[in-house]
Amino acid sequence: MKNKMKHSVLITMLLMIATLFVTAFTVPSVQASASDNSLQQIKQKGYIVMGTAPDYPPYEFIGKDNGGSKVYGADIELGKAIAKDLGVKLKVKSMGFDSLLVALQTKKVDMVIAGMNETPERAKSVDFSKTYYSSGLSLVLNTSDDKKIKSYKDLQGKTIGAQIGSVQYDAVKKGIKNINLKGMENINDLILALKSGKIAAIPLDTAVAQAYAAHNPGLKIIDAKMPGQESSNKIAFFKGATSLENAANKTIDKVNKDNLYTKKFVPAAAKHITNNKSQSQFETMWQYKNFFISGIEYTMIISVVSVFFGIILGIIFALMRLSHNWLLHSISVCYIEFIRGTPQLVQIMFIYFGLGTIVNVPALTSGIIAISINSGAYVAEIIRGGINSISDGQSEAALSLGLSKKQSMQYIVLPQAFKNIWPALGNELVTLIKDSSLASVIGVGELMYQMRAVQADTYLGVAPIAVIMVIYFVITFTISRIMKHLEGKISHGTND
């Protein structure tokens, strides 16, 4: 019997992994071979979704809008122009630069405008439009290094930082020998690292470098003087979406003819770049309070909903694992082991991008689903421990009185188990609140995401981090206190 159970667990696990692979590799290729009706689809929908990574001023960045936040930038202006020519509305979806092409492949977005350059690797998975803007490669440095670094050649043997997945990263990696390259996801983090002396320089697109240098006293930009590093920004489309690409190229032709990008789009965006130099950091943070409040809202929504479903899943899978039915038992073991054995960040991305190939799930819902499923596995183990901690005599007494197994669980075992595991559940809740920050990778506007937005908008690196740190602590500390208070209430208190 025991052997049979172990066997079936293994088989179920293998089946599950096989299904996962088959789904992951077949679905996108099926879609790619479909005939091209991309333009028609957009017109039918009445809107076009543009994906971008808004930490790249002046191309795209998050600015204040009537107390809330909104994505601005020259690329957004271009997106608007394309949408206008198509006769549809523009919707902007923000996410990490790294996730943009995946979002395109899984049709989360219709096009990507993010100061992106064409590379042979990228061209394998997506199609690119004509060039809409060209810019050079610059280096951002500390003013104190002014004399030591005059061109890219002086970077040999130094530690420098670049944005992961960017052309600048690849250019420096291939073009400079003997270099210690640190990759980071976010430009604000790079700027922080530069200011604190952890890296000597950041290779950036010239326009972007100018925007950052202008807002960070003590930083300077120089031309990298690297041959062949003229960058050409292009729009990325789903592979085979030719009709949509052609329509966009027409708009690009118009824009290029009148040099609209430099003359009109960049100045229009620059208006929204905030200048906070005259204020103290505290005042600046206060001005952005609505960002943080909105972040708290999302963090709380994710946490509350995920805790609810996490506990329900936890009870179900704990009971399944304790069940004598080998099939239910095996399913539960596989679920628990698999979820606990894979990183939550990966699970969130898999639900959003992977499940997204089959059904279109919004980012917030994906985040909640992934976090609930993750929490469910941990809660299941906590509950199982709780149930096992109740002596058999309790359920035997219930059964001897004619209660069913279900009633015995419901009225006798589970209430006592919950009392015993209450502190562990409290820990799980606190962990869940902290882990909800991972949902920022798929663009859910919770605290972590808002922190990034404030960083991008204010060019302040540390202050927003400190603010959300305090907010997280206040939330989790309050929750722990409440749990502690309730613990006193549910233990009936005859002896204490």
Partner 1 sequence: MEPMIKIEKLTKKFKNNTIFSDINAEVHKGEVISLLGPSGAGKSTFLRCINMLGEPTSGKILLDGKDLVSSSEKELIQLRTHIGMVFQSFNLFENKTVIDNITLAPIKVKGMSKEDAEEKAHELLKTVGLDDKANVYPDSLSGGQAQRIAIVRALAMDPEVILFDEPTSALDPEKVGEVLSVMQDLAKKDMTMIIVTHEMEFAKNVSDEIWFMDEGKIQEKQAPKDFFENPKTPNAQRFLSKMI
Catalog residues that contact partner 1 under the rule CB under 8 A: 391, 393-394, 396-404, 407, 411-412, 415-416, 419, 492, 494-495
- Give whichever of 45 and 405 is closer to partner 1, judged by the CB atom: 405
CA distances 115 to 76, 130, 236, 325, Å, are 11, 13, 10, 56
Q: How far is the CB of 411 from partner 1 (least distance, A)?
A: 6
Closest contact distance (angstroms) between CB of 399 and partner 1 is: 6
Considering the complex, state which of residue 342 and residue 407 has its C-beta at the smaller distance from partner 1: 407
Residue 5 beta carbon to partner 1: minimum distance, rounded to whole angstroms: 17
**Are the C-beta atoms of residues 119 and 170 closer than 8 Å to each other?**
yes
**Burial of residue 493 (number of CB atoms within 10 Å: 0-12, 13-18, 19+):** exposed
Least distance to partner 1 from the beta carbon of 389, Å? 12
Contact call for residues 7 and 326 (beta carbons, < 8 A): no
Q: Which is nearer to partner 1, 3 or 400 (CB)?
A: 400
Q: Nearer Cβ to partner 1, position 355 or 412?
A: 412
Q: Shortest distance, CB of residue 485 to partner 1, whole angstroms?
A: 19
65 vs 396, beta carbon nearer partner 1: 396
For residues 239 and 419, which CB has a smaller minimum distance to partner 1 in the complex? 419
Give min distance, CB of 312 to partner 1, in A.
Answer: 21
C-beta of 35 vs 495, nearer to partner 1:
495
The Cα 23–Cα 17 span in angstroms is: 10
Q: Find the shortest distance in angstroms from Cβ 380 to partner 1.
A: 22
> Strand 201-205's sheet: what is its strand order?
201-205, 137-142, 219-223
